[in-house]
Amino acid sequence: DGGITQSPKYLFRKEGQNVTLSCEQNLNHDAMYWYRQDPGQGLRLIYYSQIVNDFQKGDIAEGYSVSREKKESFPLTVTSAQKNPTAFYLCASGTGNYNEQFFGPGTRLTVL
C-alpha cells in the first residue's frame, strides 16, 4: 500500500539527549515536510525538502536538524538545543509547491 509512515508512535527521552524521528513515504513524492503541533496552536513548519539532498528551514528550525539522502526518507533529529521538545510531530509529503499534502500518523515525543 502507498503511504507515509512515522515511527515510533510514542517516544520518551531524557532531557539532554538527541532523538531521531523517522519518516518514510512510498508515494514517489518529491517534497517532504516536518511539522510540530502543540495544544491550542496550529501546525508549525520545522523543515521542508523539495528534492533529494536539499532542505530548507521552516518557521521553527532552531534545535532541529534533518537530512534527505533518499527520496523516500526524511528523518528529523530533535537535538538537546531544542528548549521545549515535548510535542506531537507530523511528517507530510506532497508533489511540491504546497499542493495537497499527505500526512503520516505522527510521533508523540515526551522529554522527561
Residues in the site for another protein, rule: CB under 8 A? 33, 35, 40-45, 48, 58, 88, 90, 92, 98-106, 108
Q: Is residue 20 classed as helix, strand or coil in its secondary structure?
A: strand
Measured from the CB atom, is 19 or 92 closer to another protein?
A: 92
CB of residue 73 vs another protein: minimum separation in angstroms? 19
Contacting residues for 73 by C-beta, under 8 A, at least 6 apart: 22, 23, 24
Q: How far apart are alpha carbons 1 and 4 in whole angstroms?
A: 10
CB of residue 106 vs another protein: minimum separation in angstroms? 4
Assess contact for 89 and 35: CB atoms under 8 A: yes
Measured from the CB atom, is 45 or 80 closer to another protein?
A: 45
